[in-house]
Amino acid sequence: MASPGHVGSLVTDAKLIEERRGQILRAAVKLFSEDGYYTTTIQKIAREAGVSIGLIYQYFGDKDDILFLTLKMVLESYEHEIPLRLEGLTHPVERLAMAIWAYCSIVDRLRDATVLAYRSTKSLRADRRNLIKDEELRSNRLLEACLRDCIAGGYMRTVNESMLVYQFVMFCHAWALKYWAFQGVMTPAEYVSEGLKLLVEPFLTAKGKAALAAMRRATGNFSHDKRARSRAKTK
């Protein structure tokens, strides 16, 4: 019996699987977001993706497979991309701020899929819901490690780490969930800058605040973050 996380494919070419699944997932995210998971059919997904229904079944077993891989894609993006954005950064406060900025910029790129995760995770099979929860906890640990290093280094006072990390996560997700309200009012960089004032600065010690101020000057409040531009060019 296949594991809950396994999504079978009749095609064996790994590159082709990645390309075709990406094409189908992008179409599915659009339809799931606009019409809802239950009313979106495989036929509609095929039409949106510009492929045949039969081709979809070469890469997915059913609609649950499509939803599962969509949600998994979002969470794996956090897990893979946040560490890349932290490479070369050594100061705990800088790493925490950059991790939050990285998380939020991924949400900005995957807004529809982020909203879909809130709406439709409950539609997955129970065993797959548990896998998605595990993926979420792994990505949260990236932020928690940065937060813990700030506390250990004396840059932040002691806080409930798990609770504050979820405030960071919810803040980042809110960029997608309330994008209708934020778009045209502020950029993602401005959003994160304001969020740091609310969710990080109040807990920093004097030397932690000095470190954050130095980072703000260096990045222009993330408006000229070279890592973000580099990632955007590759998408």
* Average per-residue pLDDT for the chain: 90
3-state SS assignment for residue 184: coil
> What is the per-residue pLDDT across 192-233, written as a single tens digit (0 to 9) for each?
999 999 999 999 999 999 999 998 888 877 766 555 444 444
pLDDT tier, 1 (very low <50, low <70, confident <90, very high otherwise): low
> What is the per-residue pLDDT across 3-50, written as a single tens digit (0 to 9) for each?
888 899 999 999 999 999 999 999 999 999 888 899 999 999 999 999
Task: List the one residue out of 211, 6, 67, 36 whose CA is nearest residue 219.
Answer: 211
> What is the per-residue pLDDT across 177-196, written as a single tens digit (0 to 9) for each?
999 999 999 999 999 999 99
Domains of the chain, CATH where assigned? 8-61 (1.10.10.60), 63-233 (1.10.357.10)
Stated pTM of the model: 0.86
Distance in angstroms between the alpha carbons of the first and the last residue of the chain: 36
Residue 138 has pLDDT above 60, yes or no: yes
223/111 Cα distance (integer angstroms): 20
Task: List the one residue out of 58, 63, 54, 61 whose CA is nearest residue 27.
Answer: 63
pLDDT score recorded for residue 200: 97
